Structure 1
Amino acid sequence: MPDLSGSFSMNKVSKFQGIIWAAVLITLWIANLAYWIDADFSWSNPWIYVAVLIQTHLYTGLFITSHDAIHGVVYAENPSLNHAIGRFCTILFAFNDYSTLRAKHHLHHAHVNTNEDPDVHQGPFLFWWFKFIWQYVTWKQVLAMAITYNVLKIWFPMWNLILFWEAPAILSTLQLFIFGTYLPHRGEHAADNKQQSRSQSKNHIWAFISCYFFGYHFEHHAHPYLPWYKLPKAKDESLA
């Protein structure tokens, strides 16, 4: 695999590109939720389920933005603002704890696919899934979600909250786990695979739809300073 360290130096990351993408994803997430949270709908309307999938994908975008903030690439010029954006995205994403995510994600990169890796638990899918969730879900988060739900229920219909606020968060967590952890890290990896991860085949459209290009996971571990929208170029370079 060619050395990409020069062609993808931090100097070539546009100064405000990460903030612009963060603003776009946050705005779309708020706009889609605001439209549907009080809308009349019929269960027979197929666009309802499309809207749920869109909101799920936007939730994933929030998490990916917080992930990029963890790596310092949402706004590298100002670390405090960079981490503030990441923290805000994790709050929107079901009151996740940014500090916990940040600490454990750096452990994942430092000790990938070892006993010290908090994300990788080789074994059956459900076993791995539950252990993965157990690492990050806290009673404070559950309490915050419960309180917020009961407050919002004063003004908004129950099913709207479930369909467009709660369910997409759960589905997004599953999406992130499958495409960002389970598929890239499951099974054995060659001893000379320093990243202990694999990538999906090149298909930029599917890679974006599935998980904002994090199916190109070998490239992410090889170049963790790359924001999500730079991973397709890394994939192209790795195949050159």
Structure 2
Amino acid sequence: MVIFWGWLASLIGLLLAHPTQWSAPVVLLAVAGRTFLQTGLFIMGHDAMHRTLVPGRPALNDGLGRLALLLYAGLSFGRCRRQHLRHHRSPGSLRDPDFRLASGDGALRWYVRFMGNYLSFKQLALLLITWISAAALLIGLEPQRGLNVIAFWVLPLVLSSFQLFLFGTYLPHRSQGPAAADSHAVRSLEYSHLVSLLACYHFGYHWEHHAYPAVPWFRLPELRRRVSLDHG
């Protein structure tokens, strides 16, 4: 709920702000904060896909997941859940919607395919209509405020999509040779607790997530320590 209300309050506050009067570092900090909260919305939806957002209450869990993904990018909870569970069932295979299609695919082609499996033209149209409508309302109040939609709504979503792909898919699943391919190229990133949180809400601890998908994001560091002790 902190993520949800933080996202909503920061969006409203920054859309009504006057960033042209701010210094560049303040604007960049605001964009970075919005990006982090934007990614948090997807993480809420992701945990809802695994029924760990509100354990034991599937209707509330799925309802909050739908809301989180709708606000994130107009995404369909049902479609995202089906695709994501396919990813967990067949990581690294041709049936995996999150994996690269061929070994020669670079990061950019992989990213485009990754996004295409979750974002449809209908959802893109919904986003554009929402952004244009918001910008029109703000321009009616003051012309310069129309730029706030781009700076604090559109840009954070684009940056968030790169963040989720880079730290939640590309780096953990990137093949490093036969050994990685044999294990479906699932591995964890060796980040400290704070860096892991800032990078992508601990989803760089990706082996742990695949091995224990019912563990919510905020318990992945604890799980990682426990697993390391068990294998130490």
TM-score, normalised to structure 1, is 0.87
- Alignment size in residue pairs: 218
Aligned to 2:43: 64
State whether residues 75 and 82 of structure 1, in contact with CA within 8 Å, keep that contact through their aligned partners in structure 2: yes
Q: CA deviation at 1:239?
A: 1.7
Q: CA deviation at 1:191?
A: 7.0
| Structure-2 separation of matches of 1:189 and 1:38 | 53
State whether residues 173 and 184 of structure 2, in contact with CA within 8 Å, keep that contact through their aligned partners in structure 1: no
Q: CA deviation at 1:192?
A: 9.4
1:102 equivalent in alignment to 2:81: yes
For 1:67-86, list aligned pairs within 5 A.
67-86=46-65
Cα deviation 1:35-80 (Å, max 9, x = unaligned): 1101111264311111101100001100001000000001122101
1:135 equivalent in alignment to 2:124: no
| Structure-1 separation of matches of 2:147 and 2:106 | 33
For 1:50-199, list aligned pairs within 5 A.
50-121=29-100, 122=103, 123-156=105-138, 157-187=145-175, 188=177, 190=179, 194=183, 196-199=185-188
State whether residues 31 and 151 of structure 2, in contact with CA within 8 Å, keep that contact through their aligned partners in structure 1: yes
State whether residues 180 and 186 of structure 2, in contact with CA within 8 Å, keep that contact through their aligned partners in structure 1: no
| Structure-1 separation of matches of 2:201 and 2:193 | 9
1:34 equivalent in alignment to 2:16: no
Cα deviation 1:136-165 (Å, max 9, x = unaligned): 221111111111112112222221000111
- State percent identity of aligned pairs: 37
Aligned to 2:219: 230
The structure where helix makes up a greater share of residues is 2
Gap change, CA 1:189 and 1:30, over 3 Å in 2? farther
Q: Which amino acid aligns with 2:164?
A: L
| Structure-2 separation of matches of 1:150 and 1:130 | 24
Aligned to 1:45: 24
Q: Which amino acid aligns with 1:171?
A: L
State whether residues 135 and 147 of structure 2, in contact with CA within 8 Å, keep that contact through their aligned partners in structure 1: no
| Structure-2 separation of matches of 1:155 and 1:72 | 37
Aligned to 1:239: 228
The 10-residue stretch of structure 1 (123-132 or 177-186) with the greater mean CA deviation from structure 2 = 123-132
State whether residues 32 and 156 of structure 2, in contact with CA within 8 Å, keep that contact through their aligned partners in structure 1: yes
State whether residues 202 and 235 of structure 1, in contact with CA within 8 Å, keep that contact through their aligned partners in structure 2: no
| Structure-2 separation of matches of 1:192 and 1:178 | 19
The 10-residue stretch of structure 1 (71-80 or 210-219) with the greater mean CA deviation from structure 2 = 71-80
TM-score, normalised to structure 2, is 0.90
- After TM superposition, which residue ranges in structure 1, 4 or more long, deviate above 2 angstroms? 42-45, 188-196
Aligned to 2:189, which of 190, 193, 200?
200
Aligned to 2:141: none
Gap change, CA 1:192 and 1:33, over 3 Å in 2? closer
